[in-house]
Amino acid sequence: MIAACVNWGLPEPEFELVTGDLVVTIRKDIYTEDYLKNLGLNERQIKAVMDVKGRNEITNAGYRKRFGISDRTALRDLTVICEKGIFQKVGARGRETKYILTRHKPDINPTYQSTNII
């Protein structure tokens, strides 16, 4: 099951025992607010990740404008998000630099249904 999730670019499933029953949680998207809080991101950084999930990318200038912060603060925040492996820096230096979500694989076809359940 773990290999199948990783193969499809999904987060690894979570296993837990609940009153004697095995509960398996398979997530389509690992970047939930709870997950991001547990990584130590601040509220501004979490909002940025949520924004990028919807818009596909953000720039330093866009981050500064969205939160009304300085260039240094924006760079520091974006660097932290990259170091945590959530964002990937794309492009040259300066204005051409964009930040996108890190993906293990390209998005999968959401209509795909496997008949081979592991």
Instruction: Please say if the pLDDT value at position 105 is more than 70.
Output: no
Strand partners, 18: 21
In the chain, what is the straight-line distance between the N-terminal and C-terminal CA atoms, in Å? 5
- At 103 the pLDDT is 66
> What is the model's pTM?
0.66
Instruction: Flag whether pLDDT at 37 surpasses 60.
Output: yes
Instruction: Write 108-114 long-range contacts (CB < 8 A, 24+).
Output: 108/8, 108/9, 108/10, 114/4
- What domains does the chain contain, in order, with CATH numbers? 1-29 (no CATH), 33-101 (1.10.10.10)
Which pLDDT score is estimated for 55?
A: 85
Read off the pLDDT of residues 20-35 as tens digits, 9 standing for 90 and up. Answer: 899 988 777 778 888 8
- Per the prediction, the chain carries an average pLDDT of 81
Token readout for 68 is 């009304």
